[in-house]
Amino acid sequence: MSILIGADTRVIVQGITGRDGSFHALSMREYGTRVVGGVTPGKGGQDVQGIPVFESVKEAVAETGAEASVIFVPARSATAALREAAEAGLPLVVCITEGIPVLEMLANYHYVRERGVRLIGPNCPGLITPGQAKAGIMPGPIHMPGGVGVISRSGTLTYEVVYNLTRGGLGQSTCVGIGGDPVVGTGYLELLEMFERDPGTRAVVLIGEIGGEEEELAAGYIRSSMSKPVVAFISGRTAPPGKRMGHAGAIISGGKGTAEAKVRAFQQAGVQVADRPDQIPALIRRRLGEP
């Protein structure tokens, strides 16, 4: 079992003829994902190594029955791509694109929500259900099917954690990168709820970072509503205030969003916080009562 995507999910790639779009469409297909098509306006009728390219998302959905889209277009065209996907009625949209202005994303967020679309990202690595499907850019081979759900604001740090889980014999149900921007389509809370309900998930790793208050809210939710064990990791403990640490969302401002506050919130909620990524597997095993 898993959340959001599985072996049967039919996926299209918006921006499939671009450098990143074509590379990752093929990599996703190679992993076993059902990549049924792609969209690049002006290039409909072509194909990318056998993957048909359509003029519009609407056409792609009509022709292929696609249920999810992964967006690889540049920031300046991301809003148009997101809205096109939402209008075409795709239930799941994953936006990899980095650099969308926050106020544009505020409007996009409400636009896609009103149309009942589940948006993951932007500025995220996507998601993967190991052994079944990936809708994103993560390296497939580090993953292993299993019972640990992973939620993260980061890309490569997620790979680091997944690598340690796999090395420690703990497979993953689904790994979701929610994105490093201040405003993202889906936050920790909704994913924690999904993992709580998913019979294939036994425990959850939550990877947070400085900035915002989402980790604190997640801690409150875990305390009140989660029966499954959660282990957390927070990056940015050494980050100076007022400086943006790469991710647009990773900034400590006005004394808010510090790593200390987040660690404290998790500890108060009974969530163990790892000091380093390679401690996470042992903490999970302990919480699961396994040797």
CB of 63 to another protein, least distance (A): 29
Task: Give the separation between CA 75 and CA 247, rounded to whole angstroms.
Answer: 15
Asked about 247 being catalytic, the answer comes back as: yes
224 binds another protein (CB under 8 A): no
Furthest-apart CA pair in the chain: how many Å? 57
Among 209, 229, 230, 283, binds another protein (CB under 8 A): 209
Distances in Å between the Cα of 93 and the Cα atoms of 37, 113, 252 are 14, 11, 29
**Does 29 sit near another protein (CB under 8 A)?**
no
Residue 156 in tokens: 């490569």
Q: Judged by CB under 8 A, does residue 75 bind another protein?
A: yes
Exactly one of 30, 63, 260, 275 binds another protein (CB under 8 A); which one? 275
Tokens linked to 95: 């936006």
Region binding another protein by CB under 8 A among candidate stretches 10-18, 55-63, 220-228, 241-249: 241-249
Minimum gap (Å) between residue 254 Cβ and another protein:
4
Write the interaction track for another protein spanning residues 104-143; mark x where CB under 8 A is met and - where it is not.
x-xx-xx--------------x-----------xxx--x-
Q: Check if the beta carbon of residue 71 is closer than 8 Å to that of residue 82.
A: yes
- Is 182 among the residues that bind another protein (CB under 8 A)? yes
- 3-state SS of 229-273? CEEEEEECCCCCCCCCCCCCCCCCECCECCHHHHHHHHHHCCCEE
Alpha-carbon torsion angle 201, 206, 212, 216, nearest 10: 80
Which of 23-32 are b and which e, b meaning 16 or more Cβ less than 10 Å from the residue's Cβ?
ebbbbbbebe
Binding interface with another protein (CB under 8 A): 20, 75-76, 98-104, 106-107, 109-110, 125, 137-139, 142, 152-160, 163, 180-183, 187, 207, 209-210, 212-214, 217, 233, 235-240, 242-250, 254-256, 259, 275-278
Residues recognised as catalytic: 247
